[in-house]
Structure 1
Amino acid sequence: MANPPFSTPHIKGVDLDIIQRAHNLFLANSGRLVSVVSNSMNVRAEPRSQAFRAFLKRTSAKLIELPLEIFWGSGRPVTVESYLVVIDKK
């Protein structure tokens, strides 16, 4: 299970890169990757988001929408549209 940062002060969409990197470099065959991902993947038109959407399709990923209040109990309570992405590596 991963909960990568969604962005840094200088780069948006860091979570998209981290999820793909984890899948490609660290996930064993027959493994399962579960991670939180921001909704930016759905609303942004820039190449990083487009590539991530293609990656999700290519890997037959499942997306589960999370409730807006999911992070209210955290050390940094925010309202963020987010999903749980589940990828089973074949």
Structure 2
Amino acid sequence: MRRGGFEVVEWRKIGEPDAPVLGPAERLRVLAHTCECRATLYELCSLGGHYFIRRTVRGPSGDEIAESPRIRHSKAVDLWFRLLRGNAR
């Protein structure tokens, strides 16, 4: 549940010009994820020593995928728990 005064995350939609792009040799690992039964799914991801949150919003016109900026592990885990608690969106 979203809480009042929540932190706004800078989501970058996949496919936009400033969105990160995976190279052919990069291996993405999903470290944790929320339940797929919801319309919005979050994944804590690791990629080449960087960490980020991937958000998938399912809708009638298809999935919309966005990612947070690449950050250090400790900051990513902190953001992950803020998202789960409703303190960030």
> TM over 0.5, yes or no?
no
TM-score, L = length of structure 1: 0.23
Higher strand share: 2
TM-score, L = length of structure 2: 0.23
